[in-house]
Structure 1
């Protein structure tokens, strides 16, 4: 490797992202000559940013967060099967041929991130589940729940018309899913085995207050993908009533591990990240102050 390859996480806003700490810790462990930073990009600027990546020719990959996951689908050269089905990209792998042309492949590691975060929390097969929100992360949650063989999935949305695409993805996945309005959501949450909130930071604060007012004691697990600020109001409400909470940072960790494996291979380092996955997980945990994983995590779904 003669020159350092570039990588970044793209999104808006992006200043809160912990992805640079996660990725840079992993690449230091692996001895990969990779840099990784956060770049604030709005939807209107995504095409220009990817044009820059193509022109520079020294990139290995990009992490993609909100609100760019759906936009990225139309801007890459190729999609993985899961990214195509979901219509959402959170990972762009960049490779450059001998002629200097850059090829961009869109993938989605959010699904594995959600599955592994829930399994680590003890969620078993065939749960009854709810998803809050109907955007790019919600479809990844759908796919994760299909992997867990969920028996029933209710997607709570503010505007069912705007979330019609979510139902199309559910049909493609053969997911037992249906849309319901946010009205009255708080009354039902405690009945689910798993609740996945894909709402932006603070967007569930009102719902948290309504849930507390119900007096319910949930027996299930809440995964709130928003991790800044943490704990979220919804997470605090859920835990105060005796429910189990999985922080969004757990999902970030596990999807990040999958990205590191993809980027390392594309960047010329072979399967080193896969072969040392347990060590990669540990240094990534240390980088963001998360408790180290259990040994069985070395065999997590990927």
Structure 2
């Protein structure tokens, strides 16, 4: 029998929990699929992709390959088109690209009871911030403040906000002016903001969703004190569920057979 192969690519990649998540799901689904990890950098992505044979069903992509995967895809879903980032490739007659990070954020927040917001602060203006902005728009946000060390990096997010019908205001991390219902932190893992910055952000930040989850609790989660905090592990879990729907059905919105059991098995390996 010919193997069905999948993998997660990125650089670095040794820390990835995706192989364990996918293996747990495939076991429940009764799928004899192989899912591995491979260290691939941006410069080597095109050559590595071109070397795959017909046994490959798809790929999960993490940093720094989401923009490379976007360019490689011949079709893209709406979230990928909006963000310019693809974290899932499905192979077939075409190379279909998807962004499941947006849905992962929305699903993780819904699981924590956050289903609608009006004002959102996004910390950071890097690659994940675009997915955070689209997720905020889908939750009903009307105003989004992007707080970053270099606010000028948020220029693309202002343009994206216009497309989404959301007012986006870039500001420095120490110059926040918004009383937010929700703060979405997209800062790199291990970043610790000084108390004179994290304190005011927490005081006016509403619920914190921190995309970083290693180590946990993050320095920012600790600074949030008694406020509600949602770990990025929820995003990791739910974006993977949507990926597996794609690999199984070709559609991130079509539920898996016995999906509650699948999700429970995946959660057990986090």
TM-score normalised per structure 2: 0.91
Q: Does 1:253 align with 2:241?
A: no
Name the residue aligned to 2:184.
196
Q: Does 1:242 align with 2:242?
A: no
CA distance in 2, matches of 1:47, 1:246: 36
CA distance in 1, matches of 2:115, 2:136: 11
Alpha-carbon distance change, 126 to 248 in structure 1, aligned in 2, over 3 angstroms? closer
Name the residue aligned to 2:136.
145
Query: Counterparts in 2 of 1:36-115, with a 5 A limit?
Result: 36-53=35-52, 56-95=53-92, 103-115=94-106
8 Å CA contact 2:183–2:205 kept in 1: the answer is no
CA offsets per residue over residues 22-41 of structure 1, 9 Å max, x none?
11100111111211122122
Name the residue aligned to 1:181.
172
Q: Report the Cα offset of residue 109 of structure 1.
A: 0.8
CA distance in 1, matches of 2:140, 2:199: 32
Unaligned runs of 5+ in 1: 98-102, 289-302
Alpha-carbon distance change, 242 to 105 in structure 1, aligned in 2, over 3 angstroms? same
Q: Report the Cα offset of residue 108 of structure 1.
A: 0.7
Superposed CA RMSD: 2.2
TM-score normalised per structure 1: 0.82
CA distance in 2, matches of 1:167, 1:201: 25
Q: Does 1:167 align with 2:151?
A: no
Query: Counterparts in 2 of 1:224-235, with a 5 A limit?
Result: 224-235=210-221
Unaligned runs of 5+ in 2: none
Q: Report the Cα offset of residue 182 of structure 1.
A: 2.3
**Which contiguous aligned blocks of 4+ residues in structure 1 show a shift greater than 6 angstroms?**
none
Name the residue aligned to 2:193.
206
Q: Report the Cα offset of residue 184 of structure 1.
A: 3.3
CA distance in 2, matches of 1:143, 1:215: 21
8 Å CA contact 2:61–2:87 kept in 1: the answer is yes
CA offsets per residue over residues 219-240 of structure 1, 9 Å max, x none?
72111111112221111111xx
Alpha-carbon distance change, 264 to 192 in structure 1, aligned in 2, over 3 angstroms? same
Given candidates 287, 291, 294, the residue that maps to 2:269 is 287
Name the residue aligned to 1:16.
15
| Other structure's SS at 2:153 match | coil
CA distance in 2, matches of 1:67, 1:6: 22
Alpha-carbon distance change, 139 to 216 in structure 1, aligned in 2, over 3 angstroms? closer
